[in-house]
A and B are shown apart, each in its own frame.
Chain A
């Protein structure tokens, strides 16, 4: 394997990472292999256009519309495609629902697989060795790092994204959110709640809520 030689080609680039990127970008641009304007466009897409607001809209709609939720959980791809949420790193989506008896959490232990069209580019912690190493073995201790404590009767199911299937967690609808419209509901849905390292936020004025609170979506 050429990779297993000690003389990796990357070693000839500058050691400072910012300069290393700049050097490679310059070489590739001079040869016409990359278009700097295309790089700007890629960055703009993930900085400003595609991000967790997409996933939050899906969750809010699922909380509001039982038929939509049922279709989403049964076969997410056509439902998401209809909303325009399809593309690179989101070609095969599965949505998993948190319930009082089971909390879902997503990791990629082998690299950093993540549903880009719904959540954008993964945060630094998702790509960290600590999260990748620990989430599968001690999810509750990892949740504690996020300030989340689950009730003792709640089991955790950790999804290790080892293939091209991408997982989105449908968090439990917080108590006190009855009557809110989809925009207001979407504001309760953080990125981390769709990875499973947070719970959906309780609406202000809904009191002191914990993870064990009843999923009001189940009652409607």
Chain B
């Protein structure tokens, strides 16, 4: 079983409501502050992008459902700050002093923002694991799904594509494995592929016979399709 964030293919969410062409980038001021506080805290270097995604996913189902997008961000950030020891629960209650934190020297300064955002955080790494699939090859995703490393842990194999047969579309090189990196188990880079799945392989009632869904999947999510098997 997965968590609530893994919602691809789910029924019952209703219409997508496009925004007005002139809608502001941030619907309200606190959305902008939530994004900025989260990015600034990320610059403290106490976690990586996979840890922060997992923190959002680990909000309780009740909170995940009722929170708006940026409420999820800010709540997961508060949880992360405590989990990594940056803050204590007493700090969050406003019950501690205002002295400078030991990490204060690492705080992101205004003059460094442009350079930090422009620098980005590439996920490709050299890897000792050689690619075993080539474009055009047929593969099947791991079954059961979920994290193979940590029970209930982070993975980027969505439930809807578990046990599905597809075809390698392109190779992206070797990238950090989120399943490992989200849990402090190392970056464990391995080959990453774009894999195309016929819609008919994923859905009981596909809209069109030639539709496809492409997912980026790590090599350890995939196994070769048995010779002679059809997709």
Contact = CB atoms under 8 A, between A and B. Distances in A.
B76 interface: yes
Contact of B56 (A39, A92, A111, A140): A111
Which of A1, A32, A123, A164 is the most central at the interface, judged by chain B CB atoms within 10 Å of its CB? A164
Given A110-B8, A133-B7, A133-B10, A89 B157 contact: no
Interface string A105-139: 00101111000010011011101111111101111
Contacts of A45: 113-114, 117
Interface residues of B, number: 113
Given A91-B123, A140-B207, A35 B16 contact: no
Contact of B92 (A2, A9, A17, A22): A9
Nearest to A84: B118
A99 interface: no
Interface string B31-75: 011111101110010000100011110111001000111110011
A34 B121 contact: no
B185 interface: no
A13 B178 CA distance: 29
Nearest to B101: A31
A145 interface: yes
B86 A33 contact: yes
A82 interface: no
A20 B74 contact: yes
A156 interface: yes
A42 B13 contact: no
Interface in A125-161: 125, 127-134, 136-142, 145-146, 155-161
A57 to B, nearest CB: 17
Nearest to B94: A27
Which of B11, B76, B82, B110 is the most central at the interface, judged by chain A CB atoms within 10 Å of its CB? B110
B152 A157 contact: no
B83 A134 contact: no
A46 to B, nearest CB: 6
B99 A109 contact: no
Contact of A86 (B11, B120, B203): B120
B18 A146 contact: yes
B5 A111 contact: yes
Which of B55, B76, B216 is the most central at the interface, judged by chain A CB atoms within 10 Å of its CB? B216
Contacts of B74: 10, 13, 17, 20-21, 24
B6 A110 contact: yes
Which of A2, A24, A131, A146 is the most central at the interface, judged by chain B CB atoms within 10 Å of its CB? A24
A105 B143 CA distance: 27
Contacts of A35: 40, 107-110
A139 B8 CA distance: 12
Interface string B71-105: 10011111101110011010111100011110110
Contact of B211 (A8, A86, A155, A162): A155
A124 B69 CA distance: 8
A41 B110 contact: yes
B158 A38 contact: no
A163 interface: yes
A130 B9 contact: no
B83 A2 contact: yes
A12 B36 contact: no
Given A24-B77, A35-B108, A156-B208, A137 B8 contact: yes
Contact of A13 (B21, B54, B92): B92
A173 B78 CA distance: 46
Nearest to B204: A137
A17 B19 contact: no
A22 B74 CA distance: 10
A165 B117 contact: no
Given A12-B92, A17-B74, A162 B60 contact: no
Given A88-B121, A124-B27, 4 more contacts: A89-B120, A130-B15, A137-B9, A137-B203
7 contacts: A10-B92, A13-B92, A43-B32, A45-B117, A128-B17, A160-B158, A162-B217
